[in-house]
Amino acid sequence: MAAVLAPSILSADFARLGADVKETEAGGAGLIHVDVMDGHFVPNITIGPDVTAALRKVTDLPLDCHLMIADPDRYVGDFVKAGADMISVHVEAATHLHRTVHRIKEGGVKAGVVLNPATPLNALDEILGDIDFVLLMSVNPGFGGQKLIPSALAKARALRVRLDREAPDVRIEIDGGVTVDNVAEVAACGVDMIVSGSAIFGSGDIRGTTERMVRQLAELAEREQTC
């Protein structure tokens, strides 16, 4: 199965957010990635539940809310009410990670945990059986437009091996520095969902760029299936 492309609205034009999201939807995107930053856990401030609720009104695509915030427990319920389909929290930020994950799941939402580039995979040891997906950061979180950290690809491959052995239902998402030029390489590491922001929304052709990336993912999946 082809990896799903998840455009990140962090790089969208907020004056025409609904229209930009519709362009990615027309291009074949499978998720809409919502980067939530609080200026504490990461050095940037973005959006909250109100924008998520507004997005819910303009797209039927699943909303993938990535909480880069210092106190995720405080806001999980708000994002559930706003219409999130997936919520992920950082292992580095959630003091009581097990409780946070189960609070997300109690809202009927898929729960994920996020690892920063320097956080090792063994941080998943005590939570792997409770989650639906792992989000690997391939840049240091906080700003769009960064270059992918190459070691994140080896990390994704290692995680794929581990999940196939221990938790085959858990999916892998990767976020940061994914472009038209490297999306196939990223997907080949065994990831299921790929976030891309500035490469799509800053391209000048949102729909066309989305289509190109989705096409590459489909072609890769077809080649792997015939091997």
Residues that are catalytic: 35, 175
Among 68, 77, 69, which Cα is nearest to 99's? 77
The span from the CA of 152 to the CA of 84, in Å, is 26
DSSP 8-state secondary structure symbol assigned to residue 154: H
Closest C-alpha among 175, 141, 129 to residue 155: 175
Please give the DSSP secondary-structure letter assigned to residue 62.
P
What radius of gyration, in Å, describes the C-alpha atoms of the chain?
16
* Alpha carbon 101 to its chain's center: 16
Structure-token pair, residue 134: 């792992």
CA atoms in the 13 A half-sphere facing the CB of 60: 2
Strands ordered across the beta sheet of 63-68 = 4-7, 193-196, 171-175, 133-137, 110-115, 86-90, 63-68, 32-37
